[in-house]
Structure 1
Amino acid sequence: MRIGSCLLGLAAAGLLAFGAAAQPQDRPLRVVVNVGLQNLDPISSPSFVTRNFAYLVYDTLVAMDSKGEVRPQMLQGWQASEDRLTWTFTLRPGLEFSDGAPVTAEDAVASLRRWGQRDAIGRRLMAATRALTATAPNVFVLELAQPFGGVIDALGKPSVHVPFIMPARLAGTTGPTAQVPEVVGSGPFLFNRSEWIPGERTPVRRNPRYRPRAEPADGLAGGKVVKLERAELVTLPDIALRAAAITQGEVDYLEYAPIDYLPRFRRDRNLVIANPGGIAHIVGGVSLNHHLPPFDNVLMRRAVQAAIDRAEVVAGHGLPEGMTDAACVSIYLCGTRYASNAGAELVPGRNLERARALLREAGYNNERIVLLQPADSALINPMALVVIDQLKRAGFNLDVQASDWSSIAQRWVGREPIDRGGWNIVPVIYTGFDMADPLSNVAVGYNCTNNQPWGYCVEAMKPVLERFAAESDPQKRRELAAELQRLSHDHATFPLSGQFQAPAVWRAELRGVIDFGFPVLWNIGRSR
């Protein structure tokens, strides 16, 4: 029986998914993720669910704590030369991969090089690098050819794409867009491939070889102590089923609480609603395919930008008061360090007459525009429905193709023409973890890299991004970030559809849950 059918029956009967004789600490921690897990490689895949999985089985050299500071994780420490062009990194002793092999500096070097071919910040760091070499089994050295102001921030990037460390035999032989053939990490959990049901159920268990740091767990940093032997990432596309499952105790944790059920959840003393900080908030937007007509034309992109009413979009989520910010125009998310109002005059809100005028100016002749609608995403789908309506009212001839996110993600990263499965528009969401730094921000950080689905290239952004990457002064960095935002709005690289909060919810019996904006499964125990 498939898991969705099984849980539906249990929820309808009002029964617990676990037998009465099961001991609390023996029950697997069951986490409902927003969409199904298909791709297991966090470098080849841009999906959040892959990132969530990767944090369980892999580890990082440095990690972000709850205050946004970057701290050593796999590293014992590092030293920088006086001119900050030479960085020496030392691994912690005793680190092992899940296959029993020791983690070495060669593994770190191979993993960083692969990540550096795929990630926006990684590509810029590698472009500024003269040499990256292992000088001892546990020591590697990064020699810069030119200044790079955020070396440690780059290594501590918390979201897509994260520089997870893999064995050199895998990272050094697999291209950045291909999946590694094995899941071999040095993280706190082990992947049970034999029990994996792609898109539905992903089981993991405690990694006995993992050696957590001595410090308390804090965000993604500190000691990743696993207190429950087993965990499962499960997928329940039906929103009502998710609500019933968490209420009945059939699952322990929902990555995103169904918005319509938040008032009910808040009255339930058996549930805890997360309250993540600003960097964990979410921004919606539309990914436009700059590779294909008509959105290779900036006027068409500006027409999309003019058609979108952010207030109407976030209202479509039905969120309680205080959980949305339709007025925010910052591509970095309001409440983060680079947030500003730069270019606000270019995105005043919906103006259908302006959108229609831009369509006429662009020479749009009612050509078919393929929009991929992620119908199984509790967060993207409500937004997508409103955006679809707004674009149709503005005069776009949309061919709406609804599907599950996993299928859409495969088409999204492709470069096929429209008649062979290509696309023009995909509504998407990102968190502040992905957007808060200009070098990783999807609206500016991938400029002219040909390394992400939409493929934009704004010549005026190039020198500003180079200056930002080299700059270390915080105030000058903020000024450059503001200029990049203005250029993004002017060229409509990523039309925004509104900022909002989508909290997780978990059973009150869980203790030690780290509220960080996405599922962090270490440090969690049960009170009964």
Structure 2
Amino acid sequence: MRRRHVFALAGTSLLARPAFAQPASARTLRYVPQTDLTVLDPVFTTAYITRHHSLMIYDQLFGLDSNLRPQPQMVEGYESSTDGLTWSFRLREGLKFHDGEPVRGKDCIASIRRWGQRDSLGQVLLSRVADMTSPDDRSFTIRLSRPFGPILDALGKIGPSALFIMPERIAATDPNTQIRETIGSGPFRFVANERIVGSRVVYERNPDYRPREDGTTSWAAGPKRVHFDRVEWTVMPDPGTAAAAIRNNEIDWWENPPNDLAPVLRRARDVNVRRASPLGTFGTGIFNCLHPPFDKPAVRRVILNAMSQEDFMTAAAGADPSLWNAKTGVFTPGSPLASDTGMEAITGPRDIERSKRELREAGYAGETIVMLAPSDQQALMGIAEVGRDLFIRLGMEVDYRISDWGTLVQRRASREPPDKGGWNFFHTTWNGLDGINPGVMTFLRANGTQAWFGWPTVPKLDALRQQWFDAPDLASQRAAAAEIQSTVFQEAPYLPSGQYFSNTAYRSSITQPISEIFAFWDVKRV
């Protein structure tokens, strides 16, 4: 017996409707992103700016809605066997890549394979795949060797690395090599010849894109209806420049204004300011576990025990404690798996002199710490300054390398020794959505060189992740999650630096954009 899930189309006419003539500026959405787009491959990096870019030009098999449930997107319908081992998927009719080629089942299979070799959730899925086949152009089947409960969550993963569908010839690229072509089937097309590195990125509406006709738009799910012919990203590293631009109606939407500018923007005429995501943003300090001194868990643990989340979050979001949470464990506060297990490791009293002694006893031998910091992201730069100060107060030598975020993203991929172009430590942040469970937490994977940047090796942590995947109910999942948190505080594969809430700003001349994932469909000029 098989369970069948078919999503019928509404039958609405697909013919384009006539539009009244408008000035070109009215048909262009002007946006200021968090930073410049330097990596185009959504498999090669987990940078959010690349995920935002990819949501525009690629499409997904399933889209995550605001209730955190995956809904069919490119998929028209699917069915699963009662034992959960065989899953068959049928694609919607008329899906077409930007080069005119139809989207086929074999494109989906190739994209899943490439993505799954680097993504933490994808790696678990591939470890349970017996085979994937495409019986015809509009279908593909996944046969598992053992059940995998979150299979639809994996196929609709939105947090970096999100699963996007590419042509088979492009998806055949080694996952450790960046792709050179940006051809998707999504609602926008990337205009490569108008890209100015460090300044501008341009997208045009894809006239061949056919949005779903059923359901309502909710985050990455539902119809992706485009109301602009063109979207222009303009990079403005200086917050003051961006604030003036949105007040003067030179831009329509600013992704991440710093919290200290929120009062000014709220007083501005025709500018709306709202919290970007109800789940907030949480920080992680990333150790490079391949090279001394952070190849030693004991050294990493001393740093964890000596840090102050309150210091990090005040630097990121300001002195108002309603804007941050300094009691943040492994999982996003307020999510089902969040707990107080072992929290004394990060909330207990601090003694810097004691920590300096413990650091030497743990094996720190005076190595210079190459610490990376982004000059063009105010919150992260503030967090990095606190991290640098902490290292110095602990008696560590710090080589502080400041660059734009795009350059940092490129350097963090290096596994070379720190004195040969590599690194020892950097801070980054994640949307709260990407900390709700072990399946979506890329940085929680601890399987050495197959792990995310930092490449920790903690076999117990990976075993506990597998235990979570096999847990039959929420109580069992919570038990596994509590053990995961205890292990993180003991082995310190990374630093949990706290949770804060940020804003997004947009002109009242456009409707409220989808800022939870920073999507560019559904928004229109009013």
Go from structure 1 to structure 2 and tell me whether the alpha carbon gap of 1:446 and 1:460 turns closer, same or farther (over 3 Å shift). Answer: closer
- Contact conserved, 2:271 with 2:506, CA < 8 A, in 1? yes
- For structure 2, the residue ranges without an aligned partner over 5 or more in a row are 1-20
Shift of 1:291: 0.4
Percent identity between the aligned chains? Answer: 35
CA deviations on 1:118-157 (whole Å, 9 max, x unpaired) are 1000011000111111122111111111122211111111
Shift of 1:326: 3.3
Moved more, 441-450 or 151-160: 441-450
Structure 1 partner of 2:436: 436
- Contact conserved, 1:310 with 1:327, CA < 8 A, in 2? yes
Describe how 1:483-522 pairs up with structure 2 within 5 A: 483-516=483-516, 518-522=517-521
- Contact conserved, 1:150 with 1:472, CA < 8 A, in 2? no
- Contact conserved, 2:31 with 2:232, CA < 8 A, in 1? yes
Go from structure 1 to structure 2 and tell me whether the alpha carbon gap of 1:109 and 1:257 turns closer, same or farther (over 3 Å shift). Answer: same
Provide the C-alpha distance between the structure 2 equivalents of 1:479 and 1:96, rounded to a whole number of angstroms.
Answer: 45
Q: Does the alignment pair 1:84 with 2:78?
A: no
Go from structure 1 to structure 2 and tell me whether the alpha carbon gap of 1:22 and 1:78 turns closer, same or farther (over 3 Å shift). Answer: closer
Structure 1 partner of 2:52: 52
Structure 2 partner of 1:306: 305
Q: Does the alignment pair 1:387 with 2:387?
A: yes
Describe how 1:339-488 pairs up with structure 2 within 5 A: 339-348=338-347, 350-448=350-448, 450-488=450-488
Which amino acid letter does the alignment assign opposite residue 335 of structure 1?
G
Q: SS state of the match for residue 135, structure 1? A: coil
Shift of 1:269: 4.2
Moved more, 350-359 or 423-432: 350-359
Provide the C-alpha distance between the structure 2 equivalents of 1:236 and 1:143, rounded to a whole number of angstroms.
Answer: 47
Go from structure 1 to structure 2 and tell me whether the alpha carbon gap of 1:506 and 1:323 turns closer, same or farther (over 3 Å shift). Answer: farther
Structure 1 partner of 2:10: none
Structure 2 partner of 1:287: 286
Provide the C-alpha distance between the structure 1 equivalents of 2:490 and 2:418, rounded to a whole number of angstroms.
Answer: 27
CA deviations on 1:267-316 (whole Å, 9 max, x unpaired) are 2341112234443x111121100000000111110122123211112112
Shift of 1:340: 1.4
Describe how 1:212-227 pairs up with structure 2 within 5 A: 212-214=211-213, 215-227=215-227
Moved more, 202-211 or 147-156: 147-156
The TM-score with structure 1 as length reference comes to 0.92
Which amino acid letter does the alignment assign opposite residue 208 of structure 1?
P
Q: SS state of the match for residue 246, structure 2? A: helix
Structure 2 partner of 1:254: 254
Provide the C-alpha distance between the structure 2 equivalents of 1:309 and 1:512, rounded to a whole number of angstroms.
Answer: 36
CA deviations on 1:156-180 (whole Å, 9 max, x unpaired) are 11111011000011102x0112222
Structure 2 partner of 1:315: 314
- Contact conserved, 1:302 with 1:358, CA < 8 A, in 2? no
Shift of 1:351: 3.8
- Contact conserved, 1:373 with 1:427, CA < 8 A, in 2? yes
Which amino acid letter does the alignment assign opposite residue 444 of structure 2?
V
Q: How many residues align?
A: 504
In the TM superposition, structure 1's runs of 4+ consecutive aligned residues that sit over 6 Å from their partners are none
Go from structure 1 to structure 2 and tell me whether the alpha carbon gap of 1:114 and 1:171 turns closer, same or farther (over 3 Å shift). Answer: same
Q: CA RMSD in A?
A: 1.8
Describe how 1:177-196 pairs up with structure 2 within 5 A: 177-196=176-195
- Contact conserved, 2:317 with 2:500, CA < 8 A, in 1? no
Q: SS state of the match for residue 207, structure 2? A: coil
- Contact conserved, 2:191 with 2:202, CA < 8 A, in 1? yes
Structure 2 partner of 1:155: 155
Go from structure 1 to structure 2 and tell me whether the alpha carbon gap of 1:487 and 1:373 turns closer, same or farther (over 3 Å shift). Answer: same
- Contact conserved, 1:306 with 1:354, CA < 8 A, in 2? no
Q: SS state of the match for residue 44, structure 1? A: coil
Provide the C-alpha distance between the structure 2 equivalents of 1:508 and 1:24, rounded to a whole number of angstroms.
Answer: 19
Q: Does the alignment pair 1:127 with 2:89?
A: no
- Contact conserved, 1:34 with 1:378, CA < 8 A, in 2? no
Describe how 1:270-281 pairs up with structure 2 within 5 A: 270-279=270-279, 281=280
Go from structure 1 to structure 2 and tell me whether the alpha carbon gap of 1:264 and 1:127 turns closer, same or farther (over 3 Å shift). Answer: same
Which amino acid letter does the alignment assign opposite residue 233 of structure 1?
W
Describe how 1:325-336 pairs up with structure 2 within 5 A: 325-336=324-335
Provide the C-alpha distance between the structure 2 equivalents of 1:104 and 1:306, rounded to a whole number of angstroms.
Answer: 51
Shift of 1:421: 1.1
Provide the C-alpha distance between the structure 2 equivalents of 1:456 and 1:365, rounded to a whole number of angstroms.
Answer: 20
Which amino acid letter does the alignment assign opposite residue 139 of structure 1?
S
Provide the C-alpha distance between the structure 2 equivalents of 1:493 and 1:123, rounded to a whole number of angstroms.
Answer: 19
- Contact conserved, 1:78 with 1:89, CA < 8 A, in 2? yes
CA deviations on 1:453-476 (whole Å, 9 max, x unpaired) are 101111222322222122342221
Go from structure 1 to structure 2 and tell me whether the alpha carbon gap of 1:326 and 1:353 turns closer, same or farther (over 3 Å shift). Answer: farther
Shift of 1:318: 4.3
